[in-house]
């Protein structure tokens, strides 16, 4: 079975500072990893994904994520946070062996960027 853990319910960052939102995963095979962002009363917006290749993945709105196979982690990062980045962030994983395309989501991390 596949699973995702986001150990922090909330991350607080001052505007202009770097941010990191943590994610660890567990799959039986190779992972297909995603980050999504959700604004209040809205659906999920895709930020970035990792399939294979370079461990550092760049995505939308200046976000990037680093895949670390040995630590089974896929942390989301941004060099300089904006107040408008405040939202709910979800990490998700799909196992390469999962033919049903089913995504498993982490519990979500609320990012609060203060001016």
Residues in the site for another protein, rule: CB under 8 A?
A: 32, 34, 36, 41-46, 49, 51, 90, 94, 96, 98-103, 105-108, 110
For another protein, the closer of residues 54 and 99 by Cβ is 99
Q: Supply the DSSP symbol for 68.
A: E
Q: Supply the DSSP symbol for 43.
A: -
For another protein, the closer of residues 36 and 74 by Cβ is 36
The CB-of-18 to another protein minimum distance in angstroms stands at 25
CB 12 within 8 A of CB 114: yes
Cα separation, 74 vs 50, whole angstroms: 9
Cα separation, 88 vs 104, whole angstroms: 16
For another protein, the closer of residues 51 and 83 by Cβ is 51
The CB-of-77 to another protein minimum distance in angstroms stands at 21
């Amino acid at each position: 079975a596949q699973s995702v853990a986001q150990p922090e319910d909330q991350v607080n960052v001052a505007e202009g500072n770097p941010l990191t939102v943590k994610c660890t995963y567990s799959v039986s095979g190779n992972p297909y990893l995603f980050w999504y962002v959700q604004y209040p009363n809205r659906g999920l917006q895709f930020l970035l994904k990792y399939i294979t290749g370079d461990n550092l993945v760049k995505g939308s709105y200046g976000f990037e994520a680093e895949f670390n196979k040995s630590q089974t982690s896929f942390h989301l990062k941004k060099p300089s946070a904006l107040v408008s980045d405040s939202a709910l962030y979800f990490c998700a994983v799909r196992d390469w062996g999962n033919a049903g395309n089913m995504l498993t989501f982490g519990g979500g991390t609320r990012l609060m960027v203060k001016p």
